[in-house]
Structure 1
Amino acid sequence: MIARMARPLILVVVIMLVACTASVPVADMPSPTAVVPTITPSALPTSTTAPTVAAPTAALPTAALPTVTAVPATKVPVVTYRGALVGRDANGAYTLGDPAAPLTLTDYSDFLCSVCRRHVLTVEPALIERYVVTGRVLYVFRPVLNHGAASLITTAAAFCAGEQDAFWPMHELLFERQGEVALTRDSDLPALMRSYAADLGFAIEPFDACMNDGVAQRLAETLDAEQRQRGIRVQPVFEIGDVRLVGLQTLERFASLIERQP
């Protein structure tokens, strides 16, 4: 019985809900109003410059630089004799002393000349010490070939010694042993020169090669021929500037000529 009474009540509630829903048309419902914010002109940024973007500051890797090792300059060995610089002039003649010395003393000599020997063993050392070592004089040796094959062989030996920076020691030794050289046959002189080279501690093979190739002999002959054209045919002869002295000279004579030079 209660169920029968409830049905009309439910029906009434449904009818009321439908009526309420249909009473307000969708078109008559007000549309929601969108609120748009007002932008004031002064609020806008006045600069049109694009903002600066900072570049990244990440550190770049540093490449390791190679280590540079300085190469030392090649030094030309300085060769001296009795404290004076050893050298050669433009003609190939051997010199002693400073090439820039204000005065040149040229000695024209022969290794078989006995008067030349006296000069070399007595006067020449004092000249070297007083004037050559001090830079006053450049001393030059030029050969005079007045004793045949012996002159040529001994001069070639001195020049070949010069190829090993030892012209002046051989020059002195040849005059010291002049008596032995004079008593030796020409055919045996090359062997004697070789023994002198060994005594002075030379490298023998280069010395032999120099003696055999003929270059030293030709240089001796060229120098001898050149000075003969200038009237120098005896020995010893000395030239100091424009002064020519013939024969053995005292130290005092050389000194008087050297000292008067400016």
Structure 2
Amino acid sequence: MDFTDEQLERYSRHLVLKEVGGAGQVALLNARVLVIGAGGLGAPLLMYLAAAGVGTIGIIDDDHVELSNLQRQIIHRTQDIGVRKTASAAKRINNLNSDVKLELHPTRLTPENAEDLIGSFDIIADGCDNFETRHLVNDACVKLGKTLVSAALGPYEGQIATFKPHANSDYPCYRCFLPHTPGEDEQRTCADTGILGAVAGVVGSLQALEILKEILGIGESLAGKIMLFDALAMTSRIIGLPKDISCRTCGSGEGTP
């Protein structure tokens, strides 16, 4: 692939990295990443993927921008209140990098459409805010052999993990980590607990970094591990995630439904 003069300047800081270079930038431009959720995690994630030159980005979100979103969802602006989040995010991305092709899905992910929406992408980035959707995404990714980079937020903390059991039989899937969907009384969102806005920026940026590493094949993957970030202590740690051999999604299927 021959870069245009504009691309040579835009991606110059990538091109001088020996781990990226021209071949890596081509890989980024050819990559297809689906982002589920254009909220607290999706906002910084989408901006960094677009800035890096990820060639095709899909966005799934059926929500509209609200004033309370703007404290952390930095891809949206005050004038976007009432606009679909997919449209608001697309406007900001188009202003950032015209190299990026967008595939917008202003809908909710369901068992009926999950495989069709996920199937055409290389890497899936889960930034949703409920366990039911996380399990749905995981199960579709395992079935289709897609790499899933998942992140979640708390008031002052976050977590990131990569799930790709198709790449190594010892790697777990998300359901190995959390087999069951918690009951409604156990599920709490940022509307219930609150969140320090910049925490979403840190964790969403780390999720973007992990996705870029997966596309480029550089560094050490978080597959088989989970990274835990504590903003108040300003610490992070990585712990191993074992595979559940009886997992009903990626194992023997003997786990409890």
TM-score, structure 1 length as denominator? 0.23
Name which one, 1 or 2, has greater alpha-carbon Rg: 1
TM, length-normalised to structure 2:
0.24
Pick the structure with more helix per residue. Answer: 1
